[in-house]
Amino acid sequence: MKKLFFLFLFLPGLMAFGQKPTVQLIPQPVSVKEGKGVFLLTKEATIRYNKADARKVAVDLAEKLSAPTGFPFNVREGKAGTVQMNLLEKADTQLGNEGYILDVTPKSVVISANQPAGLYYGMQSLMQLLPKEIEGKTKTTAKWSVPVVKVVDYPRFGWRGIMLDVSRNFFTKAEVERYIDEISRLKFNTLHWHLTDDNGWRVEIKSLPKLTEVGAWRVKRYGYFGARKPPLPGEPATDGGFYTQDDIREIVKYAQDHFVTIVPEIDVPGHSMAAIASYPELCTTKDTSIKVNPGSSFSEWYGDGTFKMLIDNTLNPSDENVYVFLDKVFTELATLFPNPYIHVGGDECYKGFWEKDPGCQALMKKLNVTDVEKLQGYFMKRVEDILKAKGKKLIAWDEILQGGISPDATVMSWRGIKGGIQAAKMGHYVVMTPTTFAYLDYTQGDPTVDPPIYANLRTRKCYSFEPVPDSVDAKYILGGQGNLWTEQVPILRHAEYMTWPRGWALAEDFWSPKESKNWDNFVTRMENRFDREDVAGVNYARAIYDAIVNTKITDSKMTVTMDSEIPGLDIYYTIDGTMPDSHSPKYNAPFDLPDGPITLRVITYRNGKPIGHLITLNPEQLKTRAQNN
């Protein structure tokens, strides 16, 4: 194994110099030993499993292979299949619960694992080794060959998550299941499901019917989220949706079949406008005019992390009826989601209404505290007690550290990694999901090309994510997660576009050995995956091919600097009002723009062919870009 591992570490360096690997897997396995020859999958092939617990994965594999090949695979219990799925008689401690061994010879394919999850991940690697046509859903013609190889693989982290926000925009049951299928193919094992917020309550709570009768619906609006008109008096709320409890059970079962755990989030005490619109008595102001927010502005942000809410969206921590409400919510939620955790938000809780409320002031006096932040700590402790009574653990965003938390709370660090470091040093388990590396709603290319948002996060930056800071004990870092907030994501195709390829980079951050990561090598495998997703019909962004254009003003001179994420791209530009092509000036080093109302146009080429989007920056955009750098 040591020899294999050092060979594996050496391979990325070779591939960086242009040697295209035969085995192209995402995420990169722990160990790969390539052999000579191929295994040919034919209609005579048989799929066998050695134990009953392996049957589900074997059947799943047969279904995936049958559609594009047209072969009627025979799946039975046995130990001599052409494709064999084996649960090990004696556990291999190195593989753990999710690791696998994939052994391909010219005569057979054998996937071995301690648990069915390992067989499932071995199956995902096998699918990636077959020709790209295997990703299709209809019969096609291809040479169904797999390179001879032995893969020994297991994940670095136990928590490999993606967060899908369905409050800001609702996604159907079928769409959520499709998204689960997509993330499981990349060996993600956790879907953090953001079910409630100011913009919609998406889960049926039978004891509180108004949460979906009122809270799941808002007035129809178009345009940029945050710039939409607020609801008008008497305007019908027709936009939205929710999942019935039967829907939830079916989605949870679908996720379990794909070895994905769903962690539901009920965001409290802030971000609760949909709940308050349903039951106004839950907030301090008891404002009956509050409606589910359709994407209109209801807050002021001051640039230093502080803010003011113009509409009350916060539950009242001093009202016992709020905890009765939450007990009902979590009682029903706990029966729907079998995993140990329930996420309870805790982020961006505005306390201005609490400061003015006599009940909250009386509670602070009773608790002998003068800091209103401590009220959130009190609230979260009450919530945690409710969850514990249901057999659940509390996990929440890193703001919960401000008001004090119990030793059992788990922290999700999103405001950079500082909160995660603080929590880990206090002995709390942490999921690292910082905006700086893991926010999939951020613009991934140039904001003049991609739909703009207030921050940018490129694939290369995602790939550089290291979830374990040097200053903490790694045992407290459960893993990492990418977050897809959906204010600007109205449809599933765009959710895919925002997730991939950055999600592939995160998949490797969370699964693969830290020592094996190599950006140039990843690029080769990423481009191979583009072709496969074209066949699968999955959308993705190509922003990695676009130029990165920055400007800087020094002594009244504007300097232009350009770069690219992909190695080997040629960048061409014009400043004379013409369209750039491969005969235009080629960027080789930073240059100063001459004085005048200049528009800069930039495009990338590879091997003499255009490959990136055309980027056009007018004088005002160039100036703004310089001011922001």
Cα–Cα distance, 105 to 102 (Å, whole number): 10
- Nearest residue to 452 (alpha-carbon basis) of 230, 306, 625: 625
Can you list the alpha helix ranges (DSSP code H) found in 315-438?
320-336, 352-356, 358-367, 373-389, 418-425, 435-438
Burial of 36 (0-12, 13-18, 19+ CB in 10 A): exposed
- Torsion 418-421-423-428 (CA) sign: positive
Q: Of the listed 258, 271, 343, 428, which one is catalytic?
A: 271
- Which element (helix H / strand E) includes 461? helix 459-463
Here the tokens at position 72 are: 């009627």
- Nearest residue to 186 (alpha-carbon basis) of 306, 78, 29: 29
Look-up of token digits 């982020």: 347
Does the N-terminal peptide bond of residue 29 adopt cis geometry, omega within 30 degrees of 0? no
- Is position 197 annotated as part of the catalytic site? yes
Cα–Cα distance, 57 to 63 (Å, whole number): 10
- Torsion 405-407-408-409 (CA) sign: positive
Cα–Cα distance, 462 to 441 (Å, whole number): 13
Task: Let me know: does 121 contact 59? Beta carbons within 8 Å.
Answer: no
- Is position 192 annotated as part of the catalytic site? no
Task: Let me know: does 296 contact 310? Beta carbons within 8 Å.
Answer: no
Q: Which residues have a Cβ under 8 Å from the Cβ of 613 and sit 6 or more positions away?
A: 445, 446, 449, 542, 543, 545, 546, 603
- Is position 98 annotated as part of the catalytic site? no
Task: Let me know: does 441 contact 486? Beta carbons within 8 Å.
Answer: yes
Q: Of the listed 34, 133, 250, 348, which one is catalytic?
A: 348
Cα–Cα distance, 585 to 569 (Å, whole number): 14
Look-up of token digits 């998550």: 161
Task: Let me know: does 57 contact 117? Beta carbons within 8 Å.
Answer: no
Q: Of the listed 165, 197, 399, 565, which one is catalytic?
A: 197
CB atoms within 10 A of CB 184: 20
Cα–Cα distance, 16 to 23 (Å, whole number): 15
CB atoms within 10 A of CB 381: 17
**Amino acid symbol at 120:** Y
Here the tokens at position 216 are: 């799941």
Q: Is 319 helix (H, G, I), strand (E, B) or coil?
A: coil
| DSSP class per residue in 58-123 | HHHHHHHHHHHH----EEEE-S--SEEEEE-SS--TTTTTT-EEEEE-SS-EEEEESSHHHHHHHH
End-to-end CA gap in the chain: 47
Cα–Cα distance, 283 to 322 (Å, whole number): 8
Reduced 3-state DSSP string for 414-440:
CCCCHHHHHHHHCCCCEEECCHHHHEC
Point out the residues that are catalytic: 197, 271, 348
